[in-house]
Amino acid sequence: MTRVIIVRHGQSTYNTEKRIQGRTDVSRLTEKGCNDARKVGRAVSNIVFNAIYCSPLQRAKKTAEIIHSELAEQSAVPQTNDQLLEIDLPLWAEMLSADVKQKFADDYRVWQEHPDKLGMLINDAEGTREHFPVLAVYAQARQFWQEILARHPKETILIVGHNGINRALISTALGISPGRYHSIQQSNCGVTVLNFAGGLDEPVQLESMNQTQHMGETLPTLRPGHQGIRLLLVRHGETEWNRQGKFQGQIDVPLNDNGRQQAAKAGEFLQDVAIDFAVSSTMLRPKETAEIILKQHPSVKLELLDGLREISHGLWEGKFEAEIEQEFPGELERWRTEPAVVQMPEGENLQQVWERSVAAWQSIVQAALENQPQTGLVVAHDATNKTLLCYLLGLSPDNFWNFRQGNGAVSVIDYPLGLNGLPVLQAMNITTHLSGGILDKTAAGAL
């Protein structure tokens, strides 16, 4: 496995001025940006990096240098790579965002709603041509992955880039379309972890995305102009069957002591977040997880939704992998490699999980929007959460294994424009409240 840790540069002068930076190199790190870069360095200081790559633009290069200064001596020295340059927005660069919205109103609307379709006519050495910023940064990201992954098999690398290129890197790794460019976000000094089995055409797992807890932020801040809702998607705490690696599915296994402790830590982590409503799967393990979290929010009533329950593994339930392999030869391997085509014997397939869990999710969003703006807690299961993440990012059930969901982990989904706009995954699989570090150390376990 090749582990890649992606960091966005620290706060810059243009960030504070709300200017569009693009590829201009005028903007510098603020004092806060430098301090946050140090905090990233300390958060990853126990990891030895075989290579560190950064954008040549000074705000990213300086961030990489500060992070490196906090690392163990055996970590590699940062090297610049032009494929990590920020998205190129030549007609808007250096302008205030407010001025762009006003002077390029139609183009800005396209940028917000269909970012892949935004074109800019530019004149350069090649003459007059139409430049599509998002399509270009996606192509740039793919090229970076093809070069870097081949160069660093089974190594650990650090990348320090920008909001736009980092989103393109994550999206091309997972197969998220350019039209969903705004569906994931990257905070200044936010940390993302990707695990690659090999090249871009081999399995890849998003272990976590946009962690900001090392900077003292519980959750990424709401974007300016946010008028929708925020949902905190949590996986239940550990059960004894999780620990043993036994398939539980819809068998109603309760939390074990460690699972209750994980739920309590999630509750402490979210204690200062204003939670307006809470929904859980009807099963014991998420219901108890939600109840423990809500001890910090005693006025919030818990609603139960059957559509959020775990996948039914049918005849696999209550069995270990070795027993399943013996009774259903080759099926576990198919489940690991082609999850969308597996029909669980006397159970469900992922399409059935998709239909009921998405319907439940949409009902939650709809109800919340009628009382907006609100923040809601949603506690469910591994397969349910992974299915919902695929749906939220415009992916199919084939992408099921692209996402990790640790026991007691928190993901953050915003609907900044209500149901009229696409959802935004602000952060995924936050487990710092459980492990104390940026890597997910919760046991993998069975579903």
Q: What is d(CA 14, CA 89) in angstroms, rounded to the nearest whole number?
A: 15
For residue 445, pLDDT beyond 60: no
Catalytic residue (choose from 236, 297, 313, 433): 236
- Position 292 scores a pLDDT of 98
- Position 427 scores a pLDDT of 98
Mean pLDDT of the 258-283 span: 97
In the annotation, is 130 catalytic?
A: no
- Position 417 scores a pLDDT of 81
Q: Quote the DSSP letter at residue 223.
A: P
Mean pLDDT of the 228-239 span: 95
Q: CA triplet 235, 413, 263: central angle to 5 degrees?
A: 25
- When pLDDT is cut at 50, 70 and 90, the band that residue 371 belongs to is confident
For residue 89, what are its two tokens?
A: 């927005």
- When pLDDT is cut at 50, 70 and 90, the band that residue 372 belongs to is confident
Report the C-alpha dihedral over residues 130, 133, 139, 140, rounded to 10 degrees. Answer: 120
The radius of gyration computed from the CA coordinates of the chain, to the nearest angstrom, equals 22
For residue 303, pLDDT beyond 70: yes
For residue 78, what are its two tokens?
A: 């940062």
Nearest to 437 by CA among 207, 249, 198: 207
For residue 225, pLDDT beyond 70: no
Q: What is d(CA 188, CA 389) in angstroms, rounded to the nearest whole number?
A: 23
Three-state SS string over 368-390 comes to HHCCCCCEEEEEECHHHHHHHHH
Mean pLDDT computed over every residue of the chain: 94
**2-86+137-215 CATH, one of 3.40.50.720, 3.40.50.1240, 3.30.300.30, 3.40.50.300:** 3.40.50.1240
For residue 441, pLDDT beyond 90: no
Q: CA triplet 314, 318, 321: central angle to 5 degrees?
A: 90
Catalytic residue (choose from 86, 207, 288, 310): 310
Binding positions for substrate are 235-242, 285
In the annotation, is 325 catalytic?
A: no
Tell me if 2-86+137-215 shares its fold with 229-435: yes
The percentage of residues in the chain with a pLDDT greater than 70, rounded to a whole number, is 98
Q: What is d(CA 209, CA 170) in angstroms, rounded to the nearest whole number?
A: 9
Q: What is d(CA 28, CA 435) in angstroms, rounded to the nearest whole number?
A: 33
Provide the whole-model pTM. Answer: 0.96
Sketch the domain layout of the chain as residue ranges: 2-86+137-215, 229-435
Return the CATH architecture of domain 229-435: 3-Layer(aba) Sandwich (3.40)
For residue 53, pLDDT beyond 90: yes
